[in-house]
Structure 1
Amino acid sequence: MALQAQNALLAGDSANAIAFADAGLAEGVVDASLHSILAHALVATGRLAEAAPHFTAAARLSPENGYFAHLAAAAGEGTERATESYITALFDGYAPRFEQSLISLGYRVPGLVRRMVERHCPAVAAGEAKLGPVLDLGCGTGLVGVAIADLLGGALTGIDLSRGMLEQAAAKHLYAELRQADIVAALREGLPPQALIVAADVFIYLGALEEVLRLCRQTLAPEGVLLFSLERAAPGEGSWRLGPSGRYSHAPDYVTRCLAEAGLVLVEQRDEALRLESDHTVEGMLILARPAPH
């Protein structure tokens, strides 16, 4: 039953995935993957409340599995960030079809990043200056690198936890260096001053932003630019919220406060539709900040 349910889920047939998984559980099968498949299928059909206990059951049956643990947290109280094991499991498996999947969902963030760079760096947009050095946090398969490749005049460095994603990025031959590491850990270790730091759909795997923004500020050159995207929390949801997707959304006022505490000045915040997901648009924000003057 688990294999049939998994094949149905991978084929986008959530109804049959639910039917096969339910049948397996009804027969008394005790299996973490079956609970996980059922939970994912229920989420795909918008039945979030029904999915929650199955994510929790998967985590309890496989306590060493960080992927299940994070999704169980998303269904419950939530944690301050996704685990490294969740990120690597998610994106190593996703890497070969990542770009095709995002294109089908109308993914807009790399293009939005380029346009914001052009607005705030007019000399670069006019071809009178070049960007660099540039740090691409959570670079994935290198889509941001592709979007800004012709604007580069210095080294482009990419950091990502997923080896599979980094292999895809390396094939584009755009990055001077690609490093497999947690972005917060890499920033803590110290990096050369950067003219531009980009974090496209990366902070959506962090709830609390205070430390990562402070570290970005420390890594920016004095006239540098920090540019990142977030999913926007609904009014009344607090500072940040871990949703059933396993991603975090953030309140605009919380982000502004974190920027100020980190020594950064909010220059522009744009509300943007980031991509499609199931039958709805993922609403987000694109944010550009600079170091506060001394």
Structure 2
Amino acid sequence: MVGTPFSSGHPLADRRADFAATMAAGAAWVDAAEVMSSALELAPDWAAGWYQLGDYFESACDAEAAATAWRKAIELEPGDPFGAGLKIDLQRAVPVVETMPTAFVETLFDQYAPRFEASLVGKLDYTGPDVIMRALTEVGFERASSAIDLGCGTGLMGEALRERCDWLGGYDVSQEMLKQAARKGIYDFLGKQDLCALEVSDLRYDLIVAADVFIYVGALERVIGWAANSLAPRGQVAFTVERGEAPLELRESRRFAHSEEYVLGVLRNAGFKYITLTDCVLRKDRGVDVKAFCVVASMEPLVSRFDRDGGEVVAA
């Protein structure tokens, strides 16, 4: 589960929760839910316990009971560090959530940080930085005076960029991920920042990148608007998104997918005229390739091919 350490502070409740987890490991979901419910009778203010109870009910195919438990978790922790609201939304025929709770993303990656690279690169065949660098090279990118890595994580994208940037900064919502990135010594600046709350300042960047990050942002209007107002002349924004059919699609993985039409619409509305889209596979999820596309966009042409094509380029 995602959340704070799985302890209620009540020894007997913790023992019952451990017993419930053992039952769940054997797929005895109804029994696990019953025992977990008895643990919560002893620790009724245990938000993480209510979230876990919801998961047990969901696995037991009791959607109504699961939603009730998740609502209790949100009531106790309004910031929703467990992502219970996303689980409730996924029960709807058409999910309506357009962004993720900041506390959920922060908690998720604070916990994930120590094993992030071993898991993402070693087990999931993650290729985000390579995909973005190839796409940038294709449109003529050579070097940036200043670049900002949104959702920099442990610095995988930064490692790919470092030799081609005079100044490189990174933002991430997770302090633990930032600690991992700082150890590499590749960033000139690192800051803790919710990407959904970026504010335009006097700083201007030649390059803004977001590798496999917008899947945790959801609706892109605000962050793309920020990028449009934060680019230097002839600057570029480059990012990857999971490919979806609907404009904005919350998946069972509790990540967002985006359609080409939606992404293009957001970019055009923000003033971007020169756009490339490149199909790619970012990583694997349970052994299956995650279909995605990489975007490079600018308001002014960077290389002559844009001039020949007379403006916008959309490449499959």
Match of 2:168 in 1: 156
Aligned 8 A contact 1:32 1:57 in 2 = no
Listed as ranges, the gaps of 5+ residues in structure 2 are 1-15, 41-48, 302-316
Match of 1:34 in 2: 52
Match of 1:178 in 2: 190
- For residues 102 and 241 of structure 1, the distance between their equivalents in structure 2, rounded to whole angstroms, comes to 22
Aligned 8 A contact 1:5 1:18 in 2 = no
Aligned 8 A contact 2:204 2:231 in 1 = yes
Aligned 8 A contact 1:259 1:266 in 2 = no
- For residues 62 and 202 of structure 2, the distance between their equivalents in structure 1, rounded to whole angstroms, comes to 41
1:137 equivalent to 2:137? Answer no
Deviation at 1:159, TM superposition (A): 0.6
Match of 2:256 in 1: 248
2:241 aligns to what SS in structure 1?
strand
The alignment of Structure 1 onto Structure 2 pairs a total of residues equal to: 269
Deviation at 1:141, TM superposition (A): 0.8
Which of 87, 112, 120 is residue 71 of structure 1 equivalent to?
A: 87
- Counterpart residue identity of residue 172, structure 1: K
Deviation at 1:36, TM superposition (A): 5.1
More divergent stretch after superposition (247-256 vs 188-197) = 188-197
1:119 equivalent to 2:138? Answer yes
More divergent stretch after superposition (57-66 vs 196-205) = 57-66
Aligned 8 A contact 1:4 1:20 in 2 = no
1:273 equivalent to 2:281? Answer yes
Instruction: String of CA shifts for 1:164-196, please: whole Å, max 9, x gaps.
Output: 11001101101111110112323x242511000
Q: How does 1:188-227 map to 2 (within 5 A)?
A: 188-227=199-238
More divergent stretch after superposition (82-91 vs 71-80) = 71-80
- For residues 52 and 165 of structure 1, the distance between their equivalents in structure 2, rounded to whole angstroms, comes to 34
- For residues 209 and 66 of structure 2, the distance between their equivalents in structure 1, rounded to whole angstroms, comes to 32
1:60 equivalent to 2:75? Answer no
* TM-score for both structures, normalised by structure 2: 0.77
- For residues 18 and 208 of structure 1, the distance between their equivalents in structure 2, rounded to whole angstroms, comes to 38
Aligned 8 A contact 1:229 1:286 in 2 = yes
- Counterpart residue identity of residue 3, structure 1: D
Match of 1:93 in 2: 111
Deviation at 1:5, TM superposition (A): 6.3
- Counterpart residue identity of residue 143, structure 1: L
Which of 110, 120, 144 is residue 102 of structure 1 equivalent to?
A: 120
CA distance 1:182–1:279, change in 2 (3 Å): same
Aligned 8 A contact 2:242 2:258 in 1 = yes
Identical residues among aligned pairs (%)? 32
Listed as ranges, the gaps of 5+ residues in structure 1 are 9-14, 125-129
Q: Which has the larger radius of gyration?
A: 2
Deviation at 1:241, TM superposition (A): 1.1
State the superposition RMSD in angstroms: 2.6
